[in-house]
């Protein structure tokens, strides 16, 4: 019996690609080039399955033109805002994602950005690296202390709960807004807010961990920022679409926000050039899950879903 034919749209970890080559008739992308909608449509006529990343976009128009040979899209990501799930459902194409396995790595980046933004790490690094460190005094490079402050978490899912756990190590007081209140065990002392407005009012630091959707697009805008305490710090390791970037710039310029730490942007790759004008915006190129361990785990989780599907069992992470 021939093996299912699989297209892996981007370069994945060596361990993932080795396992894929063992179990599938696989088409790899060693150049790691980005695929267009036309590429996706063309490839769908030659494969039974695709492992894409969030860089490949499956809008309704693209999904409508996928070849009937394609049976499953096993995403190498948790977020699926790049996929029109309703369109996939109408075509009868299975879609999966990779939850759980990247939560620790993403929470690490969120804490890195929180600390870095608070203590002016990017500014300090640039100063020393550029040979501009010429003086020192008690008033030099003063930042915001993290210990004992209030952290507001938007989206208390897997990553949000781990972020809360890490924050407790800094004696932060954790508050959260979620679609529903967690059990007391999962809350672990965190304070639930039934509305975003209520959470914003007590958030010295605000960390975003909810998915992007039509409901959450631009959820952090001028109106929301106005409800934060003066000098608050925003951290986003979820999706760029959650933040109105123009309103964020205005809040930084006015001093309403003391700083921001961002790992995701509305435009990716590239980010927002306006942010680069502000030393108190710390930026990373969407590397929240970029550890060796997590990349292997994400790739294996995607392959686990494919294995289940082609073995005739229900994929663990099926979305449609």
The residues carrying an active-site annotation are 239, 268, 286
Distance CA 216, CA 155 (A): 11
Tell how many helices (H) and how many strands (E) occur in the chain. 12, 12
Q: What is the CA radius of gyration of the chain?
A: 21
Query: What is the arrangement of strands in the sheet containing 150-154, beginning at the earlier edge strand?
Result: 191-193, 173-177, 150-154, 205-208, 232-236, 257-262, 281-283
Cis ω before 269 (30° cut-off from 0): yes
Torsion of the alpha carbons at 108, 114, 115 and 121, rounded to the nearest 10: 110
Cα torsion 236, 239, 245, 247: sign: negative
Q: How far is CA 33 from CA 9, 12, 29, 47, in A?
A: 8, 12, 7, 18
Distance CA 88, CA 86 (A): 5
Contact between residue 222 and residue 244 where contact means Cβ atoms under 8 Å apart = yes
């Amino acid at each position: 019996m021939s093996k299912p034919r699989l297209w892996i749209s981007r370069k994945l970890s060596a361990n993932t690609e080795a396992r894929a080559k063992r179990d599938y008739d696989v088409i790899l992308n060693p150049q790691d080039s980005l695929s267009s909608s036309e590429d996706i449509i063309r490839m769908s006529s030659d494969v039974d399955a695709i492992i894409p990343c969030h860089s490949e976009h499956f809008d309704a128009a693209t999904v409508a033109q996928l070849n009937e040979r394609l049976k499953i899209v096993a995403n190498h990501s948790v977020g699926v805002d790049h996929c029109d799930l309703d369109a996939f459902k109408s075509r009868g194409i299975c879609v999966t994602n990779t939850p759980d396995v990247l939560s620790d790595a993403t929470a690490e980046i969120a804490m890195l950005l929180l600390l870095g933004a608070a203590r002016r790490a990017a500014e300090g690094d640039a100063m020393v690296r550029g040979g501009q460190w010429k003086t020192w005094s008690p008033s030099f490079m003063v930042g915001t202390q993290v210990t004992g402050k209030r952290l507001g978490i938007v989206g208390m899912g897997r990553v949000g709960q781990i972020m809360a756990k890490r924050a407790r190590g800094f004696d932060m007081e954790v508050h959260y807004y979620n679609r529903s209140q967690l059990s007391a065990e999962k809350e672990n002392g965190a304070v639930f807010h039934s509305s975003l407005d209520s959470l914003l009012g007590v958030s010295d630091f605000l960390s975003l961990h909810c998915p992007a959707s039509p409901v959450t697009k631009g959820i952090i805008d001028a109106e929301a920022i106005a409800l934060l305490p003066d000098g608050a710090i925003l951290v986003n390791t979820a999706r760029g679409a959650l933040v109105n970037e123009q309103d964020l710039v205005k809040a930084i310029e006015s001093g309403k926000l003391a700083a921001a730490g961002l790992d995701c942007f509305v435009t990716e790759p590239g980010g927002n050039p306006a942010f680069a004008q502000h030393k108190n915006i710390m930026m990373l190129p969407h590397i929240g899950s970029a550890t060796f361990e997590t990349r292997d785990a994400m790739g294996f989780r995607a392959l686990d879903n494919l294995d289940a599907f082609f073995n005739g069992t229900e994929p663990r992470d099926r979305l449609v």
